[in-house]
Amino acid sequence: MLLTFLWGRGKAWTDATSRDLEDYEHWRRFADGNPSRVGGDKWDRELTAFAHLYRWAVKEENRYVARNPVAMKQFRGRDGGMATVPAARAKDARRSNVHWLTPRTWRLWTDVGLRGHGRDGVPVAGWAGRLEDRNVAFVRLLVSSGLRRSEGGSLLTFEVPEVRLGAGRYYRGKVMAGPTRSKKNRVFYAAADAIGDIAAYVESSRAWAVREAQRKGRYEMMPGAQVVTGITRGADPVVNWRRLDGTSGKTRLREMTVEERSVLLTEGTHGLEPLWLWLNERGLPFAVHSWENVFREASNRCERVLTPPRRAGLDPHQVYAPKATIHSARHSYALYMLVVLNVLMDQRYGLTEEERREYRMLYGDPWFMVQQLLGHASRETTVSRYLAPVADLSLRSMLAGEKEPIAAPMPELDDVFARVARESEGIQDVGLNVADIGQSVAGVAW
């Protein structure tokens, strides 16, 4: 669009000036003659792209332009560091597009959207969900761990913690650097129920899909397949592999991209089988981006089942059914951990205000802990992009009104999350009584 605008003025992109960009912004956002005006969010994304382009073009080794026409400004973030951003960023842009679901709403979304339950809370007659156990296991993993789509969607079978008796509520795992945004290894924690669901999936529908694929020789036909012959131990494991044509090589596990991980095979009891955890019905690796369709279909089913027929498509502010995306799983995890860590700090340790300050000095506050769990590089990202809408809630005063101490996590904290949802925007909280669902949605803002 910018190139077309400049061309209309008889200019190339290398001839653009600050005034040209100001005029372009006016036309793009406010001009009556433009039928396709954009909002602040879209403008900020375009402006960021322009800034990257001209920052590259002005470098000494490139020198396509002598001066960057995108005016920049510096500001100090909450973490104390300085950041540089375009000065013309829109004032009406949302600084985050965050949606949360409370734990009980995730349970409802999973039961209706993925398990085929009806408004009466039981599976409908004839329900035959495609790979229901796989989908439920993936969703519960993301909601309980905060993993990103590429991180959870590219796990290998040996990277999933093994189920153990007496292991507690959470299992510890590690995400290797390749699929992460920061390109650094990081630790994650997942609920024991989610790990149990994964184990059940591996032993049931996944095992059946693998056996069928072996019987039809699909793994021998996989493009670029690499059979793992060994993985070294230690802090920096190396994967030794051989291709089906006999050539061999080795790659550090932390350096493997999502695509490289998807073609890894191992010699199983009945022949070759994939190390990629999540498989489709043909026994082949389920592409990371395909999870978007699973979430979309589940949300659509919730809409069909839970919205009363006479109310469908009427009041846009009356929401009867939860809607979830992959990223809302991560948002919900962040909110959940913030609440839980505050509760545990108050109740497990019985800290006074002064003791809480000392504890934060030594170990960091819940915001810092959530930052580490999410793998954010800065506290600023955690606070401003994910949890800012609930940052002003006084959890201590909210929890102080409880007659009985609130025990540990889900589902015992449903009442706490319901109160958070009532006092905040963007949090979907749907009660378990689906018959009253129209009156149960609190704080929803789309």
Write the DSSP assignment of 200-221 as a string of letters.
HHHHTHHHHHHHHHHHTT-GGG
Backbone angles phi, psi at 256, to 5 degrees: -70, 130
Query: Counting beta carbons within 10 angstroms of the beta carbon of residue 283, is it exposed (0 to 12), middle (13 to 18) or buried (19 or more)?
Result: buried
pLDDT at position 445 = 36
Per-residue model confidence (pLDDT) at position 446 = 33
- Other beta carbons less than 10 A from residue 352's beta carbon: 9
pLDDT in tens, the chain (446 residues): 888 888 888 999 999 899 988 888 888 888 888 888 888 878 888 888 888 998 898 888 888 888 888 888 887 654 455 678 888 887 766 555 557 788 889 999 999 999 999 988 888 988 887 899 999 999 999 999 989 999 999 999 999 999 887 777 889 999 999 999 889 898 898 999 999 999 999 999 999 999 999 999 999 999 999 999 999 998 899 999 999 999 999 999 999 999 999 999 999 999 999 999 999 999 999 999 999 999 999 999 999 998 887 765 555 556 678 889 998 898 888 777 777 766 666 555 565 666 656 655 554 566 666 676 677 666 666 666 655 555 544 444 444 444 443 333 445 567 766 766 665 666 777 765 544 444 444 434 33
The neighbour count for residue 390, using CB atoms within 10 Å, is 22
Written as one letter, the residue type at 429 is D
Bridge partners of 226?
Answer: 243, 264
The pLDDT value given to residue 403? 45
The CA-atom distances, in angstroms, between 421 and each of 2, 125, 248, 428 are 42, 34, 55, 7
**Number of helices and strands in the chain (H, E):** 17, 11
* Kind of pairing between the strands at 271-274 and 82-86: unpaired
Would you call 70 helix, strand, or coil by DSSP?
coil
Bridge pairing between strands 427-428 and 238-243: unpaired
Look at residue 377 in the predicted model and tell me its pLDDT: 65
Residue listed under structure tokens 């495609």: 130
Instruction: Give CA–CA dist 80/63, Å, rounded.
Output: 33
- Euclidean distance between CA atoms 332 and 338, whole angstroms: 10
Q: Name the β-bridge partners of 85.
A: 73
* Cα–chain center distance at 391: 20
The contacts of residue 45 (CB under 8 Å, 6+ apart) are: none
Q: What is the DSSP string of 164-200?
A: -TT--SEEEEEE-STTSSSSS-EEEEEEHHHHHHHHH
pTM for this entry: 0.71
C-alpha distances in Å from residue 51, one per residue of 3, 60, 311, 356? 14, 16, 46, 43
> Residue 227 corresponds to which tokens in the numbers above?
């059979």
The secondary element (H helix, E strand) that includes residue 354 is: helix 353-363
Residue 108: helix, strand or coil by DSSP? helix
- CA 125 from chain centre, in angstroms, equals 33
Per-residue b/e over 322-351, b at no fewer than 16 CB within 10 Å? bbbbbbbbbbbbbbbbbbbbbbebbeeeee
Quote the pLDDT of residue 114.
95
Extract the tokens encoding 415: 């009442």
Determine the Cα–Cα distance for residues 23 and 17; give it in Å rounded to an integer.
10
Contact 284, 217 (CB under 8 A): no
Task: State the Cα–Cα distance between residues 175 and 190, nearest whole angstrom.
Answer: 12
Look up residue 220 and give its amino acid: E
User: Which string of DSSP letters, residue by residue, matches 265-328?
Assistant: EEEETTEEEE-BS-B-TTSSBPPGGGHHHHHHHHHHHHHHHHS-GGGTTS-TT---S----HHH
Tally the C-alpha atoms within 13 A of residue 211's C-alpha that lie toward its C-beta. 8
Topology given in CATH for the domain delimited by 131-280: hpI Integrase; Chain A (1.10.443)
pLDDT for residue 154: 97
Please state the domain extents for the chain.
Answer: 2-86, 131-280, 291-440
What pLDDT is attached to residue 29?
Answer: 86
CA distances from 308 to 124, 311, 316, 372, 424 (A): 17, 5, 14, 42, 26
